[in-house]
Amino acid sequence: MSLYRRVLTGQVAPGQHGEFLAAAQAALDYQAARGIEADFAIWDSITGPASQVEIVAQFDSLQELEQFEELAAQDQTFSKLRQRVRQAMVFESASVQVFRRLI
């Protein structure tokens, strides 16, 4: 059971869905190859603001979440892959939140 969840909320730039998904998949593949075993999903809004997405990562332990954050902060290749994801997004309404499971 996942105990921690990290959620990035934002919007995909008009005409950039293909680039966004390709960049996200490349980043997911890279982090999986480096031992990040979290469950990742990308949710696309079907109501509300057009092109709103949530990139959701669920971690079984705080250690796994910290491992992801460390990779993001220290690995330049991973940073460039994540930058490609962000370049396909507009950040008029973006946020990153970390949740912990209580029940």
Residues 19-72: pLDDT tens digits? 999 999 999 999 999 998 889 999 998 887 778 899 999 999 999 999 999 998
Provide CB contacts within 8 A for 33, sequence distance 6+: none
Token readout for 12 is 């995909």
State which residues form the domain around 75.
4-100
How many independent structural domains does the chain possess?
1
- The CATH number of residue 31's host domain is 3.30.70.100
pLDDT at residue 95 tops 80: no
Token readout for 40 is 């990742």
